[in-house]
DNA sequence: ACTACATGCCTAGCGACGCATAGTATGAGC
DNA sequence: GCTCATACTATGCGTCGCTAGGCATGTAGT
C-alpha cells in the first residue's frame, strides 16, 4: 500500500484547522526545532502529511504569540543555531481542547456519512 | 450529552474539504432538495454540523456543474416549487474517492497525534 | 389584515489560512 | 566551489465557508 500520495488539494483542505493540533502533538512528546518538527510529521504519517515551510513556520510563530509554545535559540557545537520550541501548560490545554473538538467533529462526520472507520481494513 | 456546540471557528475549518462528502453522502440515500439536505445534516449530526445556506447552495451548484449530482424542479400540489437533487454515478464514484482520501487523512492524523478514536467513550 | 416564523432558493463580497515563492545562511560531500 | 540537506523568515495568492443580504410562499397567532 502506501499507494499514491493523497490529492494535495484535498489534503490542503483537510489540514485546515488541524495544523496546530499536529504541531502541538509533536511537541507534547518533547521539545524540537522547526525543521525537526516537519520531518517528524512526515515520518509519523508515512509522508501522507508534509508541511510546507510556508505553513509550518507561521504556525510556530502564531502558537508562540498565543503562549501555547515558547522557544529559545540553541547553538549546538559546530552547527547552525536553531530555534527550539517547547509546549507550555497553556499549550497542553489548547491541544486537549482542539483534540476534543476534532474528535467530536469526526464523530459527527461518521454519523452523517454513516461510515465506520473500522470498516476499512488498513 | 450533546454538550456545548462546537467552536464555530474550528468547525468551519474542519469542514473545509468535507462539505461535498457530506452532501453526497446524504444524497446517496435518496434524492432531496436543498433545504431538506441541510435539515438532514443537522439531524444526523445532532446539530454538531449545521450548514449555512451560503455554504450549502453554492456546493449544490458546484456539484451539479461537475456532474456529481443532477436536479429538476419539483412542483408539489399546493406547495412551493423546490429543486430536487439526485446523485449521479459519477457522483457515487466521487463520493468514494473523497471518502477514501478522508479516511487516509484521518489515519495519518491519528498516527501523528498518537490518538485512537476509540479511546474516548461517547 | 398584519405580524411573525419556518420553509425554500439565490448571490456578492469578506476573511482566514495553507501554499507558492523568494530570500538568507551554514555545513557536508564530491 | 559546486550541490544538497538543513534551518529560519517574509510577502502575497487562492480557495472556500461564512456573513449578510435579497426574494418568495404557506401557516399560525392576534
Nucleotides of C under 7 A from a protein CB: 7-13, 16-23, 25-28
* CATH assignment at residue A97: 1.10.10.10
The number of distinct structural domains making up chain A is: 1
Residues A14, B101: C-beta atoms closer than 8 Å: yes
Backbone angles phi, psi at B82, to 5 degrees: -140, 150
Q: Which among A12, A45, A108 has the least Cβ separation from residue B108?
A: A45
Give me the CA B76–C1' D29 separation in Å, rounded. Answer: 26
At A8, is the pLDDT very low, low, confident or very high (cuts 50, 70, 90)? confident
Helix axes B34-44, A89-113, angle to 10 degrees: 120
The answer on pLDDT for B26 being more than 90 is: yes
* Helix %, strand %, coil % of chain B (to 5): 55, 10, 30
For residue B119, being part of any structural domain is answered with no
Give residue B13's domain range: 8-111
The answer on pLDDT for A22 being more than 70 is: yes
For residue B118, being part of any structural domain is answered with no
For residue A1, being part of any structural domain is answered with no
For residue B21, being part of any structural domain is answered with yes
Q: In the complex, which nucleotide's C1' lies nearest to the CA atom of residue A32? A: D7
A122 or A117: which leads in pLDDT: A117
**Residue B67 confidence (pLDDT):** 96
Residue B29 in grid coordinates = 440515500
For residue B52, being part of any structural domain is answered with yes
The answer on pLDDT for A122 being more than 70 is: no
Please name the residue ranges forming H helices in B1-122.
Answer: 8-15, 19-28, 34-44, 53-65, 89-113
CA angle A118–B2–B4, rounded 5-degree value: 120
The answer on pLDDT for B3 being more than 60 is: no
Backbone angles phi, psi at B86, to 5 degrees: -130, 135
Residue written as grid cell 504541531: A23
For residue B70, being part of any structural domain is answered with yes
Lowest mean pLDDT of A5-14, A72-81, B89-98, name the range. Answer: A72-81
Contacts of A105 in chain B (CB under 8 A): 6, 10-11, 14, 48-49
CB of A57 within 7 Å of some strand D atom: yes
Rg (CA), chain A: 16
Amino acid at each position: 500500500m502506501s499507494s499514491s500520495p493523497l490529492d494535495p488539494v484535498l489534503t490542503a483542505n483537510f489540514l485546515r484547522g488541524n495544523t496546530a493540533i499536529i504541531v502541538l502533538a509533536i511537541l507534547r512528546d518533547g521539545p524540537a526545532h522547526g525543521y525537526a518538527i516537519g520531518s517528524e510529521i512526515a515520518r509519523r504519517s508515512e509522508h501522507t502529511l508534509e508541511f510546507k515551510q510556508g505553513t509550518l513556520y507561521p504556525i510556530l510563530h502564531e502558537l508562540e504569540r498565543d503562549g501555547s509554545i515558547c522557544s529559545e535559540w540553541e547553538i549546538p557545537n559546530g552547527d547552525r543555531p536553531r530555534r527550539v520550541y517547547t509546549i507550555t501548560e497553556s499549550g497542553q490545554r489548547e491541544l486537549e481542547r482542539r483534540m476534543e473538538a476534532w474528535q467530536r467533529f469526526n464523530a459527527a462526520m461518521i454519523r452523517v456519512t454513516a461510515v465506520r472507520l473500522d470498516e476499512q481494513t488498513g
